[in-house]
Amino acid sequence: MTTVPGSRILGALAAAAALTITPLPATAAPTEGLADALAQAVTGPDTYRHLQVLQAIADANGGVRAVHTPGLAATEDYLETTLATAGYHPIVQDVPYTRFAVVAEDTRIVDGNTPLRTMVMDESPALSDVTAPAVPGPATGCQIGDYNGLNAAGAVVVLAAASCGVTQQVTAAAQAGARAVLLNSVTPDADTVQRLHWFGSAPPPIPLASISRNQAESLIGPHPQPVALRMNWQGHDEHGTTHTLIAETRGGSADHVAIVGAHLDSAADGPGINDDGSAIAATLQTAIQLAPYQDGVSNRVRFIWWGAAELADAGAEHYVAQLSPTDRQSIQAYLDATTIASPNFVRYVMSGPGVLSQPFDDYLTAQRLPFEHAGTDVVASDYEPFAAAGITVGGIFAGSLGVKTDAQATVYGGTAGQSYDPCDRQPCDRIDRIDTTALDQNARALAYAVGWTAARNFP
């Protein structure tokens, strides 16, 4: 790891950073009441100003802050400059990554040469001008038995996303003899096409692309014969190096470390203001407000903004893999924040075996803010490598692709039957879409949890 000065940032962005640095009085007690003090000091408006900078960065760089783009480099610079101004000494860790570069994702109905809008999943095997019939898949398609009575051999199976996940659905379709899969996410906007990511340990057995629900229903609607499709899906792996950004308190026991994390990069198709700009902003503002206390905290606090999180959590995976046994043992908890300002939000607190939920529960209960517990399987995020290594994890999030229930709408407001964030990983994940109330409340809850772990008497 090496120190990086953050010299690439534009002067205007550096000035914006300075405006947000309004730390707590240095005379406050460093540990007594730290959690409450941080929760009071980390405000929605200050956190929002960081989001304004991230949006400006994306707008100036093709609308994205993804890996291998100038928008991500500018995001890194902004954080480095802001952290250095607050009194930290940020460092970077190089993160090797593999990125699937799509070369072609052309799908057409043979009759009339009508184009369809599809997005090829990363790591998908290629299809070179292959023609095959589109057939409706089973209701879930999670196991080979679901295909009993269906003839999928040599066909493109059209499926709706199921709770079992893409990996199981593609595997079952391949076992049924399918040539490829077109999968649509069940989103309120029937025209949404979401790029899918492959998390299997081996490459997908057959090609897969995503398609909108409207297009899917049109393909499998009543037709005299199955609709013939011609597909040209091509892509290849590209290898590179990106960065994870780290800043930690000067003080605090090196044998008792609390890590707080969010991820730096946006998805390839949007600016990533809720996912995960909202968490970037909340962790950054918490770090700023903790800075005056950093010499007096009981436990060392390490803030980390992960690189290549949109590429299967590459930054967090690499970080945990590089830890020595001693360093791993020193980590008392990893607190994760992701998508904390969803426009149709709920308030989820991670819970379950090996999960630290107490500080989030305590704060939200004291504020009389409703919340619900969710297991670690509800959201895929950067905590997973830590949990797999036996490290206690915790976190808060506001929902992304899930659909709000009637009961949740009664509790939190918003619209039942709509996604928590219909713009997740989309070009419309912009600052005008976030919920500022959720941003304020969840940023404060995160700050409370950071103060709680910083002062906690861990054994």
Cβ atoms of residues 319 and 401 within 8 Å: no
Residue 271 has pLDDT above 60, yes or no: yes
Query: Helix (H, G, I), strand (E, B), or coil: what is residue 241?
Result: strand
pLDDT band at 8 (very low <50, low <70, confident <90, very high): very low
The pairing of strands 372-374 and 348-350 is parallel
52-67 pLDDT per residue, tens: 999 999 999 999 999 9
pLDDT for 230: 98
Closest CA to 87 of 326, 303, 322: 303
The pairing of strands 227-248 and 180-184 is unpaired
Q: Residue 444: which H helix or E strand, with range?
A: helix 436-455
Mean pLDDT, the chain, integer: 91
* Percent of the chain residues past pLDDT 90, beyond the cut: 80
pLDDT for 282: 99
pLDDT for 20: 45
422 secondary structure, DSSP code: T
Residue 257 has pLDDT above 80, yes or no: yes
pLDDT for 58: 98
pLDDT for 32: 54
Kindly compute the dihedral angle of the four CA atoms of residues 304, 309, 313, 318, in this order, to the nearest 10 degrees: -50
Q: Which CATH architecture has domain 100-238?
A: 3-Layer(bba) Sandwich (3.50)
pLDDT for 179: 98
Q: What is the mean pLDDT of residues 293-302?
A: 96
Residues 6+ positions from 159 with CB-CB distance below 8 Å: 137, 138, 141, 169, 173, 181, 182, 183, 184
pLDDT for 27: 39
The ranges assigned to domains in the chain are 2-88+249-455, 100-238
Q: What is the mean pLDDT of residues 104-115?
A: 96
332-357 pLDDT per residue, tens: 999 999 999 999 999 999 999 999 99
432 secondary structure, DSSP code: G
DSSP code per residue over 70-139: HHHHHHHHHHHHHHHHHT---EEEEEEEEEEEEEEEEEEETTTTEEE-EEEPTTPPPEEEEEEEEEE--S
Residue 23 has pLDDT above 70, yes or no: no
Residues 6+ positions from 52 with CB-CB distance below 8 Å: 16, 431
276 secondary structure, DSSP code: I
**402 vs 438, which has greater pLDDT?**
438
pLDDT for 185: 82
Token pair listed for 105: 């994702």
368-419 pLDDT per residue, tens: 999 999 988 777 789 999 999 999 999 999 998 788 999 999 999 999 988 8
Residue 228 has pLDDT above 70, yes or no: yes
* Percent of the chain residues past pLDDT 70, beyond the cut: 93
pLDDT for 15: 44
**Within this chain, domains 2-88+249-455 and 100-238 share the same CATH topology:** no
Distance separating alpha carbons of residues 452 and 438, to the nearest angstrom: 21
Q: Which fold has domain 2-88+249-455?
A: Aminopeptidase (3.40.630)
pLDDT band at 22 (very low <50, low <70, confident <90, very high): very low
The pTM assigned to this predicted structure is: 0.86
Task: Name the burial class of residue 73, with classes exposed (0-12), middle (13-18) and buried (19+) by CB atoms within 10 angstroms of its CB.
Answer: middle
Residue 30 has pLDDT above 70, yes or no: no
**425 vs 345, which has greater pLDDT?**
345
**289 vs 9, which has greater pLDDT?**
289
pLDDT for 458: 82
pLDDT for 173: 98
Query: Helix (H, G, I), strand (E, B), or coil: what is residue 190?
Result: coil
130-188 pLDDT per residue, tens: 999 999 999 999 999 999 999 999 999 999 988 788 999 999 999 999 999 999 987 76
Tokens 């109330």 locate to 437
Among 17-31, 202-216, 397-411, 439-453, which stretch is predicted with the lowest mean pLDDT? Answer: 17-31
Q: What is the mean pLDDT of residues 415-443?
A: 94
pLDDT band at 10 (very low <50, low <70, confident <90, very high): very low
Distance separating alpha carbons of residues 453 and 459, to the nearest angstrom: 12
Residue 14 has pLDDT above 80, yes or no: no
Token pair listed for 443: 């940023």
